[in-house]
Amino acid sequence: MRLSYSADIKVIQVPCTGRVDILHLLNAIEDGADGVYVAGCLEGECHYIEGNLKAKRKVEYVKKTLTELGIEPERVAMYNLSSAQGARFAEIANEMADKIKALGPTPVKNTHAA
Partner 1 sequence: MIVADRKSLEEILAMVKDNKKILIAGCKGCVTVCNVGGLKEVEILASSIKIARKKEGNDIEIDIEVLERQCDTEYVAGISETVGDYEAVISLACGVGPQFLSEMYKDQTFYPGVNTTFFGGATQHGVWEERCAGCGTCAIHNFGGLCPIARCAKSLMNGPCGGSSNGVCEINKDTECIWDSIVRKKMEAGRLEDLLGVKGIKDWQTARDGGPRRSIREELVQGNI
DSSP string, 8-46: T------S-GGG--HHHHHHHHHTT-S-EEEEEPPTT-B
Answer for the pair 107, 75: CB distance below 8 angstroms, yes or no.
Answer: no
- Tell me which stretch binds partner 1 (CB under 8 A): 12-20, 38-46, 62-70, 91-99: 62-70
Answer for the pair 80, 43: CB distance below 8 angstroms, yes or no.
Answer: yes
105 binds partner 1 per the rule CB under 8 A? no
Instruction: Output the smallest distance, CB 12 to partner 1, in A.
Output: 17
- Tell me which stretch binds partner 1 (CB under 8 A): 6-14, 38-46, 64-72, 93-101: 64-72
74 binds partner 1 per the rule CB under 8 A? no
Hey, what's the torsion of the CAs at 112, 69, 24, 100, to 10 degrees?
A: -80
23 binds partner 1 per the rule CB under 8 A? yes
Instruction: Output the smallest distance, CB 27 to partner 1, in A.
Output: 6
Nearest one of 45, 42, 21, 33 to 72, comparing CA atoms: 33
Identified binder of partner 1 from the candidate list 42, 49, 69, 87, rule CB under 8 A: 69
Binding residues for partner 1, per CB under 8 A? 22-23, 26-27, 29-30, 32, 65-66, 68-71, 107-112
